[in-house]
Structures are given as structure tokens and as C-alpha cells.
Structure 1
Amino acid sequence: MKSTGIIFLGLITLAGCSNFSVRTNISPEEALKTSKVEEYSVAEISRYKADSLGRVSTSMCRTRSTQPKPTESLLIGNLKYKAQKLGANGIVVMECVDHKINNDCAEFLRCDALAYRVDFDAL
């Protein structure tokens, strides 16, 4: 009887996970555009004719263990998306800091970058 209950519980769990999906506000077309946004260091960006378009910032707070962990790669992807919306084709990541902002946020990460429009024709 005990093993039947465990099997039944396992089947219910699997059925519940079958509808699991990750949603984002970035459409597939916009995600492709962000692949055209390159990441540069401060030294690299100074070698190009580049116009600064401003600062972009993003953060992620993990409140439940079922949520994805905040990672630099996730946040840098979001920075590229925000920079692309400004018309940028490059970013320089200034910092990524992981500090706890309150007790509701078990894991927190914030990244800031400068968005640039690099003129490759001026090379």
C-alpha cells in the first residue's frame, strides 16, 4: 500500500510539472536582436568610435527555491535587451553586486552597465 501511494504521488508530481514553462517579456524576435549587442571592457570600447547612450540596470531577487537562481549571464542578457531598446549595439558592464536587500529576498543580484552605439564604419 505504501509503495502504491509513493507511485501515485510521483505521477501527480510529474503531471503537475508537465505544464511548467518559463515566461519572459522578451519575444523571440527581440531575443535575436539582443544577440547583436556585444559586451566590451572599458579598454575595448575606448578603441572604437562609440557614443554613450546612458546607463542600464537590472536586478533579480529569488524569494522561493522553485525560482531560478540569479546569475550574471541572465542579468547581462537583460542588460543587452535594455541597451538594444535604447538603440545600442554594445554594453560595458560596470558592476554586478550580490547583496541581500531584505529577508524576503534569499538571493539577490544587481548589474549595471553603460550602453553604447559603436560606429564600425568609422574604423
Structure 2
Amino acid sequence: MLRKGLLLISILCLASCTVRTNLGGYVKSQAQTEARSQSVEVYGANEIFSYNTRFLGQVESDFCQNERFAELPSKSQLQRTLKAKAQKLGGNGIVYGQCKTGRFYTGCDKYMSCEGSVYFIEF
């Protein structure tokens, strides 16, 4: 009985050592996106021109869903990714453009795309 118990404990210990997951990478990526997006402010299309700005470029974020009954991410999730990309370009301001959704687009069952214009604002 004792041998069986030790064998079971040994197998469980070995099994727990060999399980690998990408959860750590996912959590790290989400944390970086959240941290980067915090330093970028959102402005309206007319409002941005009341500041001393320099245009840095366009950013786009998209999502392809191939599972028929799965949900698309929220618009705010894609916009948070846009803010993180804006920060990577050196921007501290963004003007959101349009978000588009569609079905059966470029190999996706469902598709969503958002865009934005990135600015550096001097205060």
C-alpha cells in the first residue's frame, strides 16, 4: 500500500513538472498592451487640431474569427490595442477612425477591424 502511494505521488510530481503552457506569455502580452495604452489619450477629429501636434501615422488592429459560434472581441479591446500601437510609434494621442465588421472576409467567418491616427502632442 505504501509503495502504491509513493508511486502515485512520484507520477503526479513528474507530470506536474512536464506540463507547459503559454498562459504566461499571454498574460505578459496583455499587461504590456494595457500599460502602453494608459499613456495615450483619445481625442476627437476636430479637437486634435487645437493642440500643437505632429502626425506620426496610422495604426490598425484587426481580428479574424474562424469558430462559427465564438464571439468577436469588443470594440474597446481593439481600441486598447490601437492605443498600445500608438505608444510604440511614439505617440501620446490618438484619433479613432472607423471600426468595421464583416462575415466571410479573407478566410474569416467573422472579421473586425479598427483604425486610428496617431499624434505626438506637445504641451
Which has the larger strand fraction?
2
TM-score, length-scaled by structure 2: 0.69
Which ranges of structure 2 fall in alignment gaps of 5 or more residues? 1-20
* 1:72 equivalent among 68, 71, 75: 75
Structure 1 gap ranges (5+) = 1-18
What are the superposed Cα offsets for residues 61-97 of structure 1, whole Å, 9 maximum, x if unpaired?
Answer: 1112675523211110110111100000111111111
> Which residue in 1 is equivalent to 2:94?
91
Superposition pairs for residues 41-52 of structure 1, below 5 Å? 41-52=44-55
Equivalence for 2:117? 114
Please, which of 39, 47, 56 is the counterpart of residue 53 of structure 1?
56
Matched-pair contact (CA < 8 Å) for 2:72–2:112? no
Q: In 2 relative to 1, CA 101–83 (structure 1 residues): closer, same or farther, beyond 3 Å?
A: farther
Whether 2:65 is the aligned partner of 1:62: answer yes
| 1:101 Cα offset (Å) | 4.3
**Aligned: 1:35 with 2:54:** no
Q: Is the 8 A contact 1:80 1:91 kept in 2?
A: yes
Distance 1:68 1:53 in 2: 32
Runs of 4+ deviating beyond 3 Å: 65-68, 101-104
Larger radius of gyration: 2
Structure number with the higher helix fraction is: 2
When the two structures are superposed, what TM-score results if normalisation uses the length of structure 1?
Answer: 0.69
Is the Cα contact below 8 Å between 2:91 and 2:120 reproduced in 1?
A: yes
Identical counterparts, % of pairs: 30
